[in-house]
Amino acid sequence: MYSKIQITGILEVVTGMHIGGSSAFSAIGAVDAPVIKDIRTNRPMIPGSSLKGKMRTLLAKRYNEIIQANPNNDDERITRVFGSAKKDDKGKVKPSKILISDMFVVNEDEIRNRGIQNLTEVKFENSINRATAVANPRQIERAVKGLQFGVDIIYEVEAGKEGEIEEDIEVIAEAMRMLQYDYLGGSGSRGYGKVKFYNLKADNVIGDVDENIKKQINELLSEI
């Protein structure tokens, strides 16, 4: 039976995170590298595409035998979940089974109650020209440590392929687990973007899913 499973939870920023926004219209003296923000609230956000792309990249490192220039040639476990534009013998492509929504701040009041007035910080850095020893200062905006974002992932169960659910969710869980030992956004090698997942749970929101399967996938998510 066709159905959809929703995975919800919390992604917490453990170290300052920079996912870049546009600086095309920045005033003189403004931050060199601002973070992307929700246009309605001006609060930092995490695009779903950033999380989905990072998860796929980590899985490619984990499961591909060689580095694939074309992601359509990723391991079958990856393309089955994340999709592929490569046509099969019947001329069909593999659509993505997961939809990852943009993520927004859910603990603003808690952060402000700690006496933190701004949800972003500006980190000053210098790059040094080795030949001339000339410093090139820059200002990088980051989402502050402790911010929490709501995770909302929809996994689509294809009719007749209910047997793939546990393996697919295991792949998703593996990507999340690896991300906690990597980084999200830019400048990860300099300590930015460490994240942690909390309170992940799954439930069917459309159609029916066997209770034993739901129990198994929730156990997988609880181990992240």
Question: What pTM does this model have?
Answer: 0.86
- In a 3-state reduction of DSSP, which class is residue 187? coil
Using an 8 Å Cβ cutoff, are 170 and 202 in contact? no
Dihedral sign from CA coordinates of 84, 89, 92, 96: negative
**Phi, psi for residue 91 in degrees, rounded to 5:** 80, 20
List, for residues 19-29, the tens digit of each pLDDT value: 985 554 444 44
DSSP 7: E
Give all strands (DSSP E) within the chain, no chain letters. Answer: 3-13, 45-46, 98-100, 103-104, 120-128, 135-143, 148-157, 195-206
Helix (H) or strand (E) holding 220: helix 211-222
| pLDDT above 90 as % of the chain | 62
Residues 6+ apart with CB under 8 A from 110: none
Angle of helix 165-179 relative to helix 48-63, nearest 10 degrees? 100
Please give the structure tokens belonging to residue 7.
């995975």
List, for residues 166-199, the tens digit of each pLDDT value: 999 999 999 999 999 999 998 899 899 999 999 9
- Residue 28: predicted pLDDT: 41
List, for residues 60-69, the tens digit of each pLDDT value: 999 988 776 6
DSSP 27: P
Using an 8 Å Cβ cutoff, are 145 and 118 in contact? no
DSSP 36: P
List, for residues 117-165, the tens digit of each pLDDT value: 899 988 877 667 677 766 666 788 999 999 999 999 999 998 777 788 9
The answer to whether residue 31 scores a pLDDT higher than 70 is no
- Residue 126: predicted pLDDT: 64
